[in-house]
Amino acid sequence: MGSNVVTKGVQRVPHRALFKALGLTDEELDRPIIGVANSWNEIIPGHIHLDRLGDAVKAGVRMAGGTPLEFNTIGVCDGIAMGHEGMRSPLVSREIIADSIEVVGNAYSFDGMVFVTSCDKIEPGMVMGALRLNIPSIFITGGPMMCGLRRGKRLTLDKTFESVGAFLNGKMSENELKEVEEFSCPGAGSCAGMYTANTMACMIEALGLSLPGSGTIPAVDARRIRLAKHTGMKIMELVNRSIRPKDIITADSIRNAIAVDVTMGGSSNAILHLMAIANESGIDLDLEVFDEISRKVPQLVGMMPGGDVAVEDLDRAGGVQALMKRLREGGHINIEVITVTGKTVGENLVNAEAIGTTIRKLSDPIRPCGTLAILKGNLAPDGAVIKTAGLKMTHYAGDAVVFDCEEEGVKAASEGRIKKGQVVVIRYEGPKGGPGMREMLQLTSILVGMGLGEDVALVTDGRFSGATHGMMIGHVSPEAAVGGPIAALKDGDKITIDIEKRSIKVEISDGEIANRLSKWREPAPKYSRGAFYKYSKMVTSASTGAVLR
């Protein structure tokens, strides 16, 4: 199989003629043909430099004797999409990206593929596509943005969102707000904290799909260009040895990635994406696995936004490999799984070293358990998710104030109508009801900026950006749009959250919930045609990764 299907034999004269129309020579067509899937564009800061990475990858492929052919996938910036109708797009785009890779790969019968990618949904979408094709594949991600710096203070994307709340609350002047806007995002790369984009880049490295360093080397660092060339060279070895994504993505490698996520305070979105990746691999991955691993694995790094460590700091400290080596000391990493280096995790870790104190020792963790918790109860029978990094409380109870969309909640917060001690409920924003399961970063940031971050809780069947911190509980399942208990809530219902007991419940009887739901009617879909309509009809629960059926 492979590219011989489209390049060899008398029946392929038309195919070779079309390849020659691209400028390819007989010599190039005699070599293994490597597809280079690149999400470069001019609309996402994390992607603006991927054309250079793509060129470096192609140089590496040619140096190792292959013929690279590059094509593009779509992508959207979650930050620019945040807080309006556009936020329905990113999770939907994950499926479109996976589909597009599957379609192009199927059409061209590449011998191998290199994936040049960055940012939240693009990275897992490409992994899903790679697994569907299951030909030798390797990834290089775009790398983190550097932190901004102004008046001796570090600035990152989450500060821009939080500054809006501070301004609305009179805690920040218009000039200060403008400075935050000007200096927070200094250039190319995925936003500097351990938000979803950098979390997934680290997950891809921890899974063994990218070369060591790919998850953390800054976007502007020349080491990333060199790594891209080595990535292009390495794909030829993977082709020759027929090492495929499904050889690398196993139940053990996924558990390794979860351990890395919970030890550094990664985004809760990693749950959705790792479950989707597992689904493409035919691996059963239950929500409880995340909780089980998080109970055992200590938090060793205080990454932004829950802490003050930027991804550039983690890179200087030894990166993902150093973190995995430290976890290995506690038996939290399976070292036998194969990676794209052609070696096992254990072999990769031989020369890894934790430099300085950014990565804590197992004997001196930030906290003895990891940073994800799966909550269940009569409000979320199938589960809900909270990221506990930086969380200052483990128990909360308050009266619900209920909104049927994100915009209503943002309006109420901006007008000062949300008070201390309340539980803000945003529903009908799940995978089906959204559709697309919008992130609530604008709302959570306004609350934090107004000084309410530790004084209110937020509960939603939508989800949160990796830049969110505090008592923010998402992925409530079943969602409101399918008649989950969250659809039965009314203003004033008392909600109790207990992180230690992994519990989230509303203080009303099962009979009252059933009575309210008996009067509930499924809302009309927000879209009647097109991609969002199809998505709303096919998407499953957040508790299963919001995959399509």
Q: Which of 315, 312, 303 is nearest to 145 (CA)?
A: 312
- Cβ atoms of residues 209 and 168 within 8 Å: no
Using DSSP, state whether 391 is helix, strand or coil: coil
Q: Among all chains, which residue has been given the structure tokens 């799984």?
A: 337
Q: Rounded to whole angstroms, how far apart are CA atoms 73 and 104? A: 10
Bridge partners, residue 36, by sequence = 70, 114
Q: Which of 465, 477, 536, 541 is catalytic?
A: 465
Q: Which of 126, 157, 156 is nearest to 142 (CA)?
A: 126
For residue 389, the surrounding DSSP H or E stretch is: none
Using DSSP, state whether 361 is helix, strand or coil: coil
Q: Rounded to whole angstroms, how far apart are CA atoms 383 and 108? A: 41
- Cβ atoms of residues 453 and 306 within 8 Å: no
* 518 in active site: no
The conformation of residue 21, written as its DSSP 8-state character, comes to H
How open is the CA angle 53-81-119, to the nearest 5 degrees? 25
Question: What count of Cα atoms within 13 Å lies in the side-chain half-sphere of residue 190?
Answer: 34
Q: Work out the end-to-end distance of the chain between its first and last CA atoms, rounded to an integer number of angstroms.
A: 29
**Crossing angle between the packed helical segments 89-108 and 269-281, to the nearest 10 degrees:** 30
The most distant pair of C-alpha atoms in the chain lies apart, rounded to whole Å, by: 76
Assigned token pair, 170: 């009179």
In the chain, count of helices (H) and strands (E)?
22, 14
How open is the CA angle 186-190-192, to the nearest 5 degrees? 65
Residues 263, 268, 271, 273, CA torsion sign: negative
Using DSSP, state whether 486 is helix, strand or coil: helix
Q: Rounded to whole angstroms, how far apart are CA atoms 52 and 112? A: 20
Cβ–Cβ contacts within 10 Å for residue 102, how many?
Answer: 17
Using DSSP, state whether 30 is helix, strand or coil: coil
Q: Among all chains, which residue has been given the structure tokens 């909640």?
A: 409
Question: What count of Cα atoms within 13 Å lies in the side-chain half-sphere of residue 453?
Answer: 22
Using DSSP, state whether 309 is helix, strand or coil: strand
- Cβ atoms of residues 466 and 371 within 8 Å: no
Just list the catalytic residues: 465
